[in-house]
Amino acid sequence: MSILVDKNTRLLVQGITGREGSFHTTHMMDYGTNVVAGVTPGKGGQFFEAGGQKAPVFNTVKKAVEETDANTSIIFVPSRFAIDAIYEAADAGLELIVCLTEYIPVLDMIAARDYLDQKNVRLVGPNCPGLITPDEAKVGIIPGNIVKPGNVGVVSKSGTLTYEVVFALTARGMGQSTCVGIGGDPIKGINFIDVLALFEADPNTEQVIMIGEIGGNDEELAAEYIQTNMSKPVTAFIAGRTAPPGRRMGHAGAIVEGRAGTAEGKVAALRAAGVQVAEHPDQIVDLIKA
């Protein structure tokens, strides 16, 4: 088994004919993801072909869902249009939305998150690499050649660190159940706790790697959840330990103000919850092998 995406995923790509959309849709199709439709306003009636697949392009998400029974959307739309793309996907009845777009305004995301919660729609992202279930479905930009099927679940705020850790796991013969990049924006869709709960319920996931970073309190909340709800071992890494206070580092949410959101506080909370915390990314694989 896996979480969120698998061979039953019927993917719709919003922005399929754009530069980023067409490039990454080709890679998703080549990986074997079941891409059933694309949406680009004004280009309905065209077809997108790659990896032996042929997906029709529609003008609206609603029409695409009606015609193809798509159940998941991935958004490759510029930031000024991405928030409307999220609303359109939710209104069309999709179960899961994955948004890779960065620079979506925080106030827009606050309203969108509230709307999605009311409709019981899951959002991964924005500003994330998406997710992948090895040999089943790649929804996003995580390289398919670095993963292999296995029992280690991975959830991360950082795309680059996701790739590094997954590559190290695969090189050591340890496969993954699903790898999920949740993104590092302060307001986003699913969070650490949401993904941890899914991994806890997944019989194919035997242990979990959680990659966090400075800023916010997601990791401290996750530590509380792990201590009281997780039966499976969790290994963690917190990025940004050398970041100067008050300076934004990479992700919009990776900023430390005063004592809130420090790496030291996150590490202490996780260790108090029984989580092994690596000092550097290379150590993660050694810890879960131990």
Task: Identify the H or E element spanning 54.
Answer: strand 53-58
Distance CA 280, CA 236 (A): 10
Residue 120 CA to residue 110 CA, distance in Å, equals 15
Please tell me what DSSP assigns to residue 136.
T
Q: Distance between CA atoms of 207 and 165, rounded to whole angstroms?
A: 14
State CA 221 to chain mean position distance.
18
Give me the phi and psi of 205, to 5 degrees please.
-95, 120
**Selection from 147, 140, 277, 151 nearest residue 213 by Cα:** 277
* Contact residues for 193 (Cβ-Cβ < 8 A; gap 6+): 221, 222, 225
Q: How many CB atoms lie within 10 A of CB 140?
A: 26
Q: Are 161 and 214 in contact (CB under 8 A)?
A: no
Amino acid at 71: N
Catalytically active residues are: 251
CA distance 33 to 56: 15
The SS3 call for residue 152 is strand
